[in-house]
Amino acid sequence: MSDQSQSPGYAEAGRAEGSAVPAGSPGGVAPLIDESATYALRVNGRGEAVKAAWLGESLLYVLRERLGLAGSKNACEQGECGSCSVFVDGTLVCACCVLAADAVDADIVTVEGLAQGEALSDVQRCFVDEGAVQCGFCTPGLIVAVTDLLDRCPHAGDMEVREAISGNLCRCTGYGRIFAAVDAVRRRREARA
Amino acid sequence: MTVRALAAPAPPTPAAPTPTPAPPTPAAPGRPQLEATPGRVGESARRPDGIPKVKGQFAFSSDLWADGMLWGRTLRSPHPAARIRAVDTTAAARIPGVRAVLTAGDVPGKPCYGLEHADQPVFAGDVIRYQGEAVAAVAADHPEIAWRAAQAIAVDYEPHEPLTDAEAAITAPPIHPDGNVFRHLTITRGDPDATGDVTVEGTYEVGMQDQAFLGPESGMAIPSDDGGVELFISTQWLHVDRDQVAACLGLPVDRVRLTLAGVGGAFGAREDVSLQVHVCLLALKTGRPVKMVYSREESFFGHVHRHPARMSYRHTATRDGELVKVEARLLLDGGAYASSSTAVIANAACFAAGPYRVPNAVVDGWVVRTNNPPCGAMRGFGAVQACFGHESQMDKLAAALGVDPVELRLRNALRGGDELITGQRLTGTAPAREVIEAAAAHPLPPPPDPDADPMALPGGAGLTAERADVRRGVGFAVGFKNLMYSEGFDDYSTASVRLEEGPDGRPLATVHCAAAEVGQGFVTLAQQIVRSELGVERVVLRAADTQVGSAGSTSASRQTWMSGGAVQAACVAARDALLRRVAQARGVDFQGARRQLLTLRDGEVVHVEGVFRVPLVEALGGRPVEEVREYRHAPTLPLDDRGQGDAHVSYAFAAHRAVVDVDPELGLVRVVQIATGQDVGRALNPLQVTGQIEGGIAQGLGLAVMEEIVVTDGRVRNPSFTDYLIPTALDMPEVLATLIEQPEPGAPFGAKGVGEPPTISSTPAVVAAIRAATGLPLTRVPVSPEDIALARP
């Protein structure tokens, strides 16, 4: 028995016994990068030109690797973990599941756009003070998701909070201090109101 | 003893200075410096990296970027067992934008690496021993090109039947020149033929758990001018990585320099080498910086997992409920390569009887090689598997005796001065009774509220449960584990502390320690220790790297004790040097008992008889003081051929009580509350201790009811966060924690490590609660819905 496995997924690979060389292999493909492919994104209020890109790049990749905005994280890149949460036209999305070239003309806001210069937003401040940050890899996505929730639903109850952030996986904290941070933001905003 | 409840964390410290920002992103690999927030030992100081992390400015290893960098990509075997007949890289190398394609023949140094035994090839040359084993690596201009090139490498495999049964592996023909048995260990204590009034038996299984840290394996290698390489990497132990990488590259260790890049969680999965050698080889081959970032799928194949276990137990007790004898056979599946398997089985065996007085014991421990995914370190390290066994047995014994399970545990709980089944006497604190009592003392949650949100029922958002059918159960479990490395290992940590006048004219302390910050908060603790020891408010941490001596691994709940001890020792030495300098300058005798005349207090060198006080900066006299110290814990000894010996340094205990609601028809479980008592020695940062307890419990809950890498015929079926589920915010219950603070003699500040105990007994506590709710035996974790819904009583 013999095969020359080419399948991308290790889990699936090996079933494709004797599979053919995939499209995209040498011998007749156009170069990946189209030097003329240029488009513009609007991120955190600034226009950003994306030049000579592969049009298959996700918004997450372009933010991180082309625009220098590495705050949005790459924990799963299939929309399961929420660590790349950003706003696209005010809607909370996973940047890994959006094609960058499809986000032209949209207003994109990332975690880097939430602080006012050196001043942290109340959500950011409470995450630091309440011990909601450990390794910090899930943190930017959670900051964006909690910002979204409390802006939309200032009086969200505990179960609503849990549901709203259940798409943001955290492996360090067990969420306890994250709930405490969300509580602290709600208390601050209520005290101010 | 002080007991501190965790319900209300200490108030925030006042206005913290803004830390030096992390490197701008895209981050040029550099040496980020973390600056201080106020807070001394015992206070809930805030993390120095907290602000960059919430702003998205903290540079993790996957965020690194350098001019002209290439992207690396691994090609991995789709087969769990195969012979490689040929590898043809011609087509891959011809793809535009591909800069290097490497296979086994391109490894200039040692062809294999490994934590304890170098048995794992850098690239498989002729034999594949697990699905996902690396065969080749590519560097290209763009990650998509690298991926396509990896797929274009033609590997001619001859697959064969994988060896997947751990029991069979003991006697099967070896699948590796080093054999199939990584370690066979027996512990014999007292009289193996001792008898009692009551005997209970059981066989238990633990599935393969994944650490599932959020930040995937990643790093960047940059060739250096001396023909060496600089590696920026997320790891748990820089120096042991360096030594393995240098050996495989065929370079002297001083030409391989490692710097810790931001680490997105670890939990044991970063103890072993993953991409370190590959990325360095690609950088040296191309002469350019190379970055590698695993996808989540590749991450499941790129690191070791928690060993699956099959355990048979027989407990014998008197009718009064005193344990007479524990017999256990433990079989761990180590998968294809050794990793830390030999130490994991030692832990499983040493702690097989649980935190109880057991006069007679026979433990037979095995860890073997198969064609399953390699297994190694994960939080709890062997004690997790054993705890599910011994705690299931304690409940069985309680039922057989007709006594309360908590009472049975209290009756047998270890105390200071008792001997373990290894014959080692407990000379430190051993608050086993106290953790049990503390966990049991927390209030139970109110009974299910008929008007409560249906989201709170088992099944949650699915809204599948009928409230009237939901059954509640309560379960209890206790566990313990060694802190630091054992069995005679020379375990040490190094730290340097430099004291000088800062640019602003105030005193500044700089700590250099290679301890890997993986999220646990050592960076906070190091600052707290310096502030407490030297009274200096401004404390900067240099990036962890291999330019200072080894700090050992961020493993085994050891960094608070070991690197905390090293930082403290370096502080004491720096203080002594400063006092000696002042004594010389002022003509004060600084010999013997006269040393006590000078002290450092509140930022001043003070003559205790009131002769003078000198501000610290003036005392320095324009020259910094810098001292480096190594810290070692008390030595340990190997286990003898009967498994006896003083193999461990110290132990930490924890107990958990779980309350669950179960929908028996669909087999769905909702954990309602977990209460715990944990032995912490002394809480040096109560907020961070809370975070460790809650996070560790989440991983224990995950193993109890959701987390398993499903492996069929050696193939992983669920390498994604779609199919490998970890607890979400909807899965985690309320956690009630009591810290038992009995300072540990010999430990710096009396503190014990706190990371692992929450993960050990939380799992059996949840399963015991499900048993109580359903009446089912449930001998395997994770408990699946099928185990409940399809069970036939």
Given a cut of 90, whether residue A118 has pLDDT beyond it is: no
Please state, for a pLDDT cut of 90, what percent of chain B lies above it: 91
Helix, strand, coil share (%) of chain A residues, nearest 5 = 35, 15, 55
Given a cut of 80, whether residue B122 has pLDDT beyond it is: yes
B684 shares its domain with B547: no
Query: Closest to B97 (Cβ–Cβ): which among A5, A8, A32?
Result: A32
Residue environment code for B186-200, b if the CB has 16+ CB neighbours within 10 A, otherwise e: ebbbbeeeeebeeeb
Confidence at residue B11, expressed as pLDDT on a 0 to 100 scale: 32
**Taking CB atoms and an 8 Å cutoff, what residues of chain A touch B212?**
171
Q: Where a domain ends, among A58, A82, A112?
A: A112
Residue A26 lies in a domain: no
**Taking CB atoms and an 8 Å cutoff, what residues of chain B touch A22?**
148, 151-152
Confidence at residue A25, expressed as pLDDT on a 0 to 100 scale: 40
- Measured distance CA(B622)–CA(B505) in Å, rounded: 11
Residue B336 lies in a domain: yes
Q: How many domains does chain A have?
A: 2
The answer to whether B647 contacts chain A (CB < 8 Å) is no
B160-211 tens-digit pLDDT = 999 999 999 999 999 999 999 999 999 999 999 999 999 999 999 999 999 9
Residue A51 lies in a domain: yes
A53 shares its domain with A74: yes
* 3-class SS string, B104-152: HHHCCCCCEECCCCCCEECCCCCEECCCCCEEEEEEECCHHHHHHHHHC
A61 shares its domain with A81: yes
- Measured distance CA(A176)–CA(B142) in Å, rounded: 40
**Taking CB atoms and an 8 Å cutoff, what residues of chain A touch B298?**
10
Q: Are the CB atoms for B761 and B388 separated by under 8 Å? A: no
Determine the 3-state secondary structure of A94 from DSSP. strand
Residue A83 lies in a domain: yes
Q: In chain B, how many H helices and how many E strands?
A: 18, 34
Residue B327 lies in a domain: yes
**Taking CB atoms and an 8 Å cutoff, what residues of chain B touch A120?**
51, 54-55
**Taking CB atoms and an 8 Å cutoff, what residues of chain A touch B688?**
131
Given a cut of 70, whether residue B10 has pLDDT beyond it is: no
- Structural domain including B605 reads 492-632
Identify the closest residue of chain A to B712 by CA–CA distance. A11
Q: Where a domain ends, among B615, B632, B649?
A: B632
Residue B135 lies in a domain: yes
B111 shares its domain with B259: yes
The domain spanning residue A106 has which CATH number?
A: 3.10.20.30
B656-675 tens-digit pLDDT = 999 999 999 999 999 999 99
- Measured distance CA(A176)–CA(B204) in Å, rounded: 31
Top residue of A7, A10, A60, A158 to mutate, by most chain B CBs within 10 Å, is A10
A105 shares its domain with A137: no
- Is there a contact between B58 and A136 if contact means CB atoms under 8 Å apart? yes
- Interface A-B, measured as beta-carbon pairs within 8 A, has a size of 277
Residue B205 lies in a domain: no
Task: Name which residue leads in pLDDT, B492 or B454.
Answer: B492
B 32-51: CB under 8 A from A: 44, 46-47, 49-51
B618-647 tens-digit pLDDT = 999 999 999 999 999 999 999 999 999 999
The answer to whether B371 contacts chain A (CB < 8 Å) is no
Residue B169 lies in a domain: no
A142 shares its domain with A177: yes
Residue A14 lies in a domain: no
B 686-725: CB under 8 A from A: 687-688, 690-691, 693-699, 715-722
- Structural domain including A169 reads 122-192
A23-69 tens-digit pLDDT = 344 444 457 888 888 999 999 999 999 999 999 999 999 999 999 99
A44 shares its domain with A84: yes
Q: How many domains does chain B have?
A: 3
**Taking CB atoms and an 8 Å cutoff, what residues of chain A touch B141?**
33
Indicate the pTM of the whole model: 0.94
Residue A61 lies in a domain: yes
A188 shares its domain with A157: yes
**Taking CB atoms and an 8 Å cutoff, what residues of chain B touch A170?**
214, 729
- The burial of B330, by beta-carbon neighbours within 10 Å (0-12 exposed, 13-18 middle, 19 or more buried), is given as buried
B683 shares its domain with B715: yes
The domain spanning residue A145 has which CATH number?
A: 1.10.150.120
A105 shares its domain with A130: no
- Is there a contact between B53 and A162 if contact means CB atoms under 8 Å apart? no
Residue A2 lies in a domain: no
Please state, for a pLDDT cut of 90, what percent of chain A lies above it: 77
- Is there a contact between A111 and B56 if contact means CB atoms under 8 Å apart? yes
The CA-based dihedral angle spanning residues B335, B338, B340, B345, taken in that order and rounded to the nearest 10 degrees: 70
Strand-pair partners of A91? A88
The domain spanning residue B116 has which CATH number?
A: 3.90.1170.50
- Is there a contact between A177 and B159 if contact means CB atoms under 8 Å apart? no
Alpha carbon distances (Å) from B110 to A163, B114, B377, B447 = 51, 11, 24, 62
**Residue B26 confidence class, pLDDT cut points 50, 70, 90:** very low
The domain spanning residue B477 has which CATH number?
A: 3.30.365.10
Question: Measured between CA atoms, how close is B51 to chain A, in angstroms?
Answer: 7
A84 shares its domain with A131: no
**Taking CB atoms and an 8 Å cutoff, what residues of chain A touch B727?**
174
Residue B778 lies in a domain: yes
Q: Determine the distance from the C-alpha atom of residue B207 to the mean position of all C-alpha atoms in its chain, rounded to a whole number.
A: 18
B525 shares its domain with B420: no
Identify the closest residue of chain B to A132 by CA–CA distance. B691
B440-457 tens-digit pLDDT = 999 999 998 888 888 999
Tokens of B495: 């730290």
B659 shares its domain with B596: no
- Measured distance CA(B528)–CA(B240) in Å, rounded: 27
B283 shares its domain with B314: no
Confidence at residue A30, expressed as pLDDT on a 0 to 100 scale: 58
A134 shares its domain with A73: no
Beta strands B323-333 and B360-368 are parallel
B250 shares its domain with B381: no
- Is there a contact between A177 and B518 if contact means CB atoms under 8 Å apart? no
B 276-315: CB under 8 A from A: 293, 295-298, 301
A84 shares its domain with A57: yes
Angle between the N-to-C axes of helices B383-401 and B762-774, in degrees from 0 to 180, rounded to the nearest 10: 40
Q: Where a domain ends, among A58, A79, A112?
A: A112
A96 shares its domain with A158: no
Residue A15 lies in a domain: no
B84 shares its domain with B123: yes
Tokens of A188: 């601050």
Residue B192 lies in a domain: no
Determine the 3-state secondary structure of B737 from DSSP. strand
Residue B60 lies in a domain: no
A141-170 tens-digit pLDDT = 999 999 999 999 999 999 999 999 999 999
A187 shares its domain with A151: yes
Confidence at residue B603, expressed as pLDDT on a 0 to 100 scale: 86
B390-423 tens-digit pLDDT = 999 999 999 999 999 999 999 999 999 999 999 9
- Is there a contact between B151 and A70 if contact means CB atoms under 8 Å apart? no
Residue A45 lies in a domain: yes
Confidence at residue B387, expressed as pLDDT on a 0 to 100 scale: 99
B612 shares its domain with B718: no
